[in-house]
Every structure is written in C-alpha cells, then in structure tokens.
Amino acid sequence: MNKGKIVSIHSFRGGTGKSNTTANLAAQVAMAGKRVGVVDTDIQSPGIHVLFGLDENKMGKTMNDFLHGKATIREIGFSIGDHSSGGEGRAKLAGKNLWLFPSSIRGREISQILKEGIDFNLLNEGLQKTITEFDLDYLFIDTHPGLNEETLLSIATSDILIIILRPDNQDLQGTSVTVDIARSLDVPNLLLMVNKALPKYDFAELKKEIEDKFNAPVTGILPLSFDLADNASNDLFSLRFPDHDWSKALRGVAEAVLAVE
C-alpha cells in the first residue's frame, strides 16, 4: 500500500467548521515538516480554497477538470508553499510542502458535475495518485457534510477519520450514524473533535461524556470563538494566532494525527 495516510474530515451536519479545521490541521502538519495534500471533494459546495487564499482568478485546473479528463493530478496540485502571501498566518507556510487540489467554483462546472454524476473509479484513482505523484505523507480530504456517495468513498479508503461535532443534540445523533458506518467499513483510526464548545462547559467532563457515548477518543475540544468568526476564513487562524485557545486545542488534534502509526 502507498505510504501516505488518508485523513478524511467529516461532519454529519453543516456549519461545524469542517473546512476551517481541515485547512488548519493540514497547515499544522505541513509546519511539522510533513508533505501534505488537501483535496476538496465537496464538489457541490467547495470552500476550503478560500482559507488558502485562492479565488476564481488564481485557481488553475481543478478536480472537476480531472473528472472530465481535461487535466492530470500533477496539473491540479496548487503549491501553497510557493503562493503563501496575502495573510500573516499563511505566510508562515512559505517553502512548506503543502498542496491544495481544489474543486471548481465556477457555476457551470458545478452544475455539470451535478448533471452528469461522478465516475468514482476515476475519483479514487485521483485520490491515490495525489499521494504517489506528490509523495505525500498525509492527504487530507475535506468532505461534503452528511453522508453522500463521495463522502462514503473517502471514509472507505481512509486510514484516519476525524468526525467533527458540536455539543448539540442534532450533531450527537448524526455522529452516531457516521460512527456506525465508519466501524462497519473498518476505518482503522476513528477520532472525534468537538468544535464550538461554549466556554462555560467543563471541557474535561464533556470529553468524557462524548468518549463514553461513542467509544472513540476525543482529540480536542475547541471553544466557540468570536475571534475565529471575526477572521472570516481570511487566513489560517492557528498560524496567525498560535497562542489562542482554539489554536492550542487544534494543535492537539494535529498531534493526535501525527501520532497514528
């Protein structure tokens, strides 16, 4: 099996901070000296490119082009280490081995995928080739919230699945479904991360409660933060504000990923 690990980031519901977490985790792992890729498989509502400072004009070839046979994986990989300007946090990634494989944000290309469907043999080939062609240690997959077919494929091929949830009853019920599916697909490492926890909670108690409920480790409880909201996805928060409580907790999650054998 190729040596790079696939890390899928999933949440059952939208608005959990999945893309923000994925981008910051990938950045932290790249800062630790690893070769890292980030694929946006949220083809119908892509967004993670914003955190890396890309917009429609800067974006070159995308996963949509790959799925339509118009580009190779090599052509899609956008080096963040070579284009890290435009944000105090992102600037710290200069020279690091981090590539983004974005999905298109052009309306026509999104509607074309919705209309024509997806060749999953090709999508899987693309995911595996990002690892081999870029010699990645970690490939982070930002998935669409909920359980659709591309999300299930990424879960089925993952070495590590991180499920993000908020301390909210709807999230807790939805997470149960994802945990059941991940277990039935034999995902080797299932990790949980709680985001947007109100500071008034007892985090240690919350961690224990969630670990007991799902019988899986909670790698971090990240506080609800107005500072993060104020950042408005303009920069990589954990690099820009490394001493913030949110950033410290996120680094704990990154360490848990790096600790997986």
Residue 3 sits in the site that holds another protein (CB under 8 A)? no
In this structure, are residues 174 and 204 in contact, taking their beta carbons and an 8 Å threshold? no
The binder of another protein chosen from 124, 176, 233, 234 (CB under 8 A): 124
Residue for token pair 């608005």: 15
Q: Which is nearer to another protein, 113 or 172 (CB)?
A: 113
Start-to-end Cα distance in the chain: 14
Residue 261 sits in the site that holds another protein (CB under 8 A)? no
In this structure, are residues 32 and 258 in contact, taking their beta carbons and an 8 Å threshold? yes
Residue for token pair 């469907």: 117
Residue 114 CB-half CA count within 13 A: 11
Residue 230 sits in the site that holds another protein (CB under 8 A)? no
The binder of another protein chosen from 75, 82, 88, 116 (CB under 8 A): 116
Q: CB under 8 A: which stretch of 18-26, 83-91, 144-152, 226-234 binds another protein? A: 144-152
Residue 69 sits in the site that holds another protein (CB under 8 A)? no
The binder of another protein chosen from 69, 85, 121, 215 (CB under 8 A): 121
Please, what is the minimum distance in Å from the beta carbon of residue 73 to another protein? 13
Q: Decide: helix, strand or coil at residue 174.
A: helix
Alpha carbons 140 and 26: distance in angstroms, whole number: 7
Residue 135 sits in the site that holds another protein (CB under 8 A)? no
Q: Which is nearer to another protein, 158 or 238 (CB)?
A: 158
In this structure, are residues 122 and 43 in contact, taking their beta carbons and an 8 Å threshold? no
The binder of another protein chosen from 69, 85, 107, 232 (CB under 8 A): 107
How many residues at the interface with another protein, by CB under 8 A?
30
Q: Which is nearer to another protein, 115 or 200 (CB)?
A: 115
Please, what is the minimum distance in Å from the beta carbon of residue 122 to another protein? 9
Sheet containing 36-40: give its strands across: 78-79, 98-101, 36-40, 138-142, 5-10, 160-165, 189-197, 218-223
The binder of another protein chosen from 72, 79, 157, 176 (CB under 8 A): 157
Q: Which is nearer to another protein, 121 or 169 (CB)?
A: 121
The binder of another protein chosen from 32, 50, 91, 152 (CB under 8 A): 152
Residue 117 sits in the site that holds another protein (CB under 8 A)? yes
Residue 206 sits in the site that holds another protein (CB under 8 A)? no
Please report, as a single letter, which amino acid is at residue 161: L
Alpha carbons 140 and 202: distance in angstroms, whole number: 30
Burial tier of 3 (Cβ tally within 10 Å: 0-12, 13-18, 19+)? exposed
Burial tier of 128 (Cβ tally within 10 Å: 0-12, 13-18, 19+)? middle
In this structure, are residues 42 and 113 in contact, taking their beta carbons and an 8 Å threshold? no
Residue 163 sits in the site that holds another protein (CB under 8 A)? no
Residues in touch with another protein (CB under 8 A): 1-2, 6, 56, 106-108, 111, 114-121, 124-125, 128, 149-150, 152-153, 155-157, 181, 184-186
